[in-house]
Amino acid sequence: MLKKLQHAQNPSNQQPEGVPALPPFRSGYQLSQTTNQLLPPPYNPNIAPPSYNPNTAPKQTQNTSQQNLESMLYILAQYNIMVILDDSGSMSLDGMTKNVSRWEESLEAISMLLDYGTKFDTDGIEVYFLNNPNELSIMPNQSVLSEIEKYHITPSGATPLGAKLHSVFSRFISVLRECKRKNEHVKPINLIVITDGEPSDKPLVKTAIVNFVRELMSLGYDPSEYAGIQFFQVGTDKNAQAYLQSLDDDLHKEAHIPDIVDCTCFNSNDATPLRYTISKTLLGAVVKSVDNDNYKPH
């Protein structure tokens, strides 16, 4: 991850063919005339970190149609996508469909997420696990399922989500500090967490997110510009769903920080096609109109 992010000043990602260049969608971004990429604003030590004001937060826009979700995926080229996959023991339990485990549902989801994601984040998507120490970097046209099978990664153990978030965030903060020192741009991160339930270190989850946001601000980076966290739930645990939804709806209010969290639930029995749920998952934490929108199948 360190090498990938440090080379973000001259990104190798190109605008996908057939997708027109669009105006910058975030304030302060500039469109590079050489790479056709949106570059985050450079660090300015004379400008204080932006304060969060819920009264000036982006307003909900018109309903985002399912077709529009897919047309917005080009935005992902501006992000370093990362995935944390829950490999705890409870993932062996039945998911939404009888005799289909949560682990099997999560593998279906991550396979499609990376198939879509690597079309835009072409220098590799990092995949981390809660218990297994292996870290994968999945390139375009590479099968994440084959890599998971290769390293014999199966569900077992607890759900130390807070510890894993802290680890991933700490590494990113280290990269930001180094790149700021060198006056280099860093691609923002779009972190997707696929999980089935409440973490075994629940207090650490909130602490990790809040501290991460505050560290970004202390370095002079706007959290809403530099990070998004998407929780993608598999399984039918209502308590877990309520917990994850609270991270989306309540955490930023409780901690008085910008809202960088979104939550999506996987329901194999829903009439909404899976590809649209995957699109919402990829975009929800980094595009506010998608986070706010409750789209339904037509």
- Of the candidates 147, 177, 81, 148, the residue with the CA atom closest to the CA atom of residue 120: 81
3 state SS of 192:
strand
User: Which residues are bridge partners to 127 per DSSP?
Assistant: 83, 136
Q: In angstroms, rounded to a whole number, what is the distance separating the alpha carbons of residues 106 and 278?
A: 12
Q: What is the dihedral of CA 150, 151, 155, 161, to 10 degrees?
A: -130
Tell me the average pLDDT across 81-86.
Answer: 98
Query: What is the rounded average pLDDT for all residues in the chain?
Result: 82
Q: In angstroms, rounded to a whole number, what is the distance separating the alpha carbons of residues 89 and 130?
A: 11
Q: In angstroms, rounded to a whole number, what is the distance separating the alpha carbons of residues 119 and 14?
A: 10
Q: 129-177, pLDDT tens digit by residue?
A: 999 999 999 999 999 999 999 999 999 999 999 999 999 999 999 999 9
Domains recognised in the chain with CATH numbers? 70-292 (3.40.50.410)
Residues 67/280, Cβ–Cβ less than 8 Å: no
Residues 129/208, Cβ–Cβ less than 8 Å: no
pTM for the model: 0.79
80-85 and 38-39 strand pairing: unpaired
Tell me which DSSP letter residue 42 carries: P
Contacts of 287 (CB under 8 A, 6+ apart): 25, 72, 75
Tell me the average pLDDT across 49-77.
Answer: 62
- Of the candidates 126, 127, 69, the residue with the CA atom closest to the CA atom of residue 275: 69
For residue 156, the one-letter residue type is S
Q: How far is CA 111 from CA 103, 127, 138, 147, 233, in A?
A: 12, 11, 10, 11, 15
User: Which residues are bridge partners to 194 per DSSP?
Assistant: 85, 232
Q: 241-263, pLDDT tens digit by residue?
A: 999 999 999 999 999 999 999 99
Q: 177-229, pLDDT tens digit by residue?
A: 999 999 999 999 999 999 998 899 999 999 999 999 999 999 999 999 999 99
In this prediction, residue 236 has a pLDDT band, given cuts at 50, 70 and 90, of: confident
Q: In angstroms, rounded to a whole number, what is the distance separating the alpha carbons of residues 204 and 281?
A: 23
Q: 100-110, pLDDT tens digit by residue?
A: 999 999 999 99
Residues 120/77, Cβ–Cβ less than 8 Å: yes
Where does residue 207 fall: left (phi above 0), alpha (psi -120 to 50 degrees), or beta otherwise? alpha
